[in-house]
């Protein structure tokens, strides 16, 4: 018997956003090979959202789609702790290149499905943690952002790998998504360092025009205005905040960006 339905890509509420913000601030403190840190991270990310927060599942669960079709049965509770410890030990000792190793970990973690809820969020966080310990640049390019605009393809890759009984499809999808995001980040960085009428200047002009008729701007607005991903919109806004032209505030239950007094 399943203990309940767990629908893919549930809507994010304000508590989930706050919890995610807190855990990403503490990313550097986490040991990617520690079971205790994994449970702590789950506890923070699901605080106030799920009944079994910060602990492995105690009842059998499964993932279903929006129509109630079972897509995946999780591991039986009695086997979860040992399987998670084995997976963390493999991630620590394997000689597989980290870009691939982190993808394998991500897929196997979702396959084990060690928590009653929050497996996707924690799996993506741990993928980021593994990569960021290997190369700090990934702390600024979290896996959550990488798949934000690719959610359907992400879940399709997981399902295809489940059907095939191995993780190749998922690994190929993640490596492709990571490559595209890195190229996007490099192009954005190059544009911002160029003094001509480059992409950064054009984007800032669009944001200024928008703010002539609006009190604030959000990530979603920049994505629509500039035709960029959520991760790129974050970097664009973050750079403008660093330049002192915008100020970031938490208002209206959202992060918003407003013109500074000097504007």
If one compares 12 and 235, the residue with the highest pLDDT of the two is 235
pLDDT in tens, 172-185: 999 999 998 888 77
Q: Where are the domains of the chain?
A: 14-183, 194-259
In the structure, what pLDDT confidence band is assigned to residue 72 with cuts at 50, 70 and 90?
A: low
Q: What is the share, in percent, of the chain residues with pLDDT greater than 90?
A: 48
β-bridge mates for residue 246, sequence order? 259
pLDDT in tens, 186-207: 776 555 454 444 678 888 988 9
If one compares 93 and 9, the residue with the highest pLDDT of the two is 93
Residue 231 has a pLDDT of: 86
pLDDT in tens, 138-150: 887 889 888 988 9
Residue 123 pLDDT > 90: yes
When mean pLDDT is compared across 19-23, 66-70, 77-81, the lowest value belongs to 66-70
Report the distance separating Cα 27 and Cα 62, nearest Å: 28
Are 48 and 15 in contact by the 8 Å Cβ rule? The answer is yes
The CATH topology of domain 194-259 is: Arc Repressor Mutant, subunit A (1.10.10)
Query: Can you tell me whether residue 239 is helix, strand or coil?
Result: helix
Phi-psi bin for 252: left (phi > 0), alpha (psi -120 to 50), beta? left
Query: Can you tell me whether residue 210 is helix, strand or coil?
Result: helix
Residue 166 pLDDT > 90: yes
Task: Say whether 194-259 and 14-183 share the same fold.
Answer: no
pTM exceeds 0.75, yes or no: no
Tokens of 195: 């003094």
Average pLDDT over residues 76-98: 96
Report the distance separating Cα 173 and Cα 91, nearest Å: 20
C-alpha closest to that of 112 among 130, 129, 126, 94: 126
Strand ranges (E), the chain: 62-64, 70-73, 246-251, 254-259
Average pLDDT over residues 193-222: 80
Residue 131 pLDDT > 50: yes
Report the distance separating Cα 98 and Cα 8, nearest Å: 27
Q: What is the mean pLDDT of the chain?
A: 85
Q: What is the full DSSP assignment across 43-104?
A: HHHTTTT-SS-SS--SS--EEE-TT--EEEEPPPGGGHHHHHHHHHHHHHH--S-HHHHHHH
Are 216 and 259 in contact by the 8 Å Cβ rule? The answer is no
Residue for token pair 């310990």:
133
**CATH architecture, domain 14-183:** Orthogonal Bundle (1.10)
């Amino acid at each position: 018997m399943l203990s309940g339905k767990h629908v893919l890509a549930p809507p994010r509420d304000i508590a989930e956003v706050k919890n995610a913000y807190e855990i990403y601030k503490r990313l550097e403190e986490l040991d990617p090979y520690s079971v205790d840190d994994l449970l702590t991270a789950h506890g923070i990310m699901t605080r106030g959202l799920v009944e079994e927060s910060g602990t492995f599942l105690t009842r059998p669960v499964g993932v279903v789609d929006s129509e109630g079709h079972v897509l995946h049965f999780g591991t039986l509770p009695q086997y979860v702790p040992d399987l998670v410890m084995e997976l963390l030990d493999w991630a620590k000792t394997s000689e597989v290149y980290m870009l691939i190793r982190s993808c394998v970990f991500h897929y196997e973690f979702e396959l084990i499905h060690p928590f009653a809820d929050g497996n996707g969020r924690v799996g993506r966080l741990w993928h980021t943690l593994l990569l960021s310990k290997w190369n700090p640049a990934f702390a600024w390019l979290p896996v959550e952002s990488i798949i934000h605009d690719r959610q359907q393809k992400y879940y399709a890759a997981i399902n295809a790998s489940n059907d095939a009984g191995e993780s190749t499809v998922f690994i190929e999808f993640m490596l492709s998504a990571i490559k595209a995001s890195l190229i996007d980040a490099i192009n954005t960085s190059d544009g911002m360092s160029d003094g001509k009428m480059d992409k950064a200047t054009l984007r800032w002009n669009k944001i200024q025009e928008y703010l002539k008729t609006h009190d604030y701007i959000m990530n979603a607005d920049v994505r629509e205005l500039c035709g960029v991903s959520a991760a790129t919109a974050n970097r664009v806004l973050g750079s403008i905040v660093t330049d002192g032209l915008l100020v970031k505030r938490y208002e209206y239950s959202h992060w918003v960006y407003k013109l500074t007094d000097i504007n």
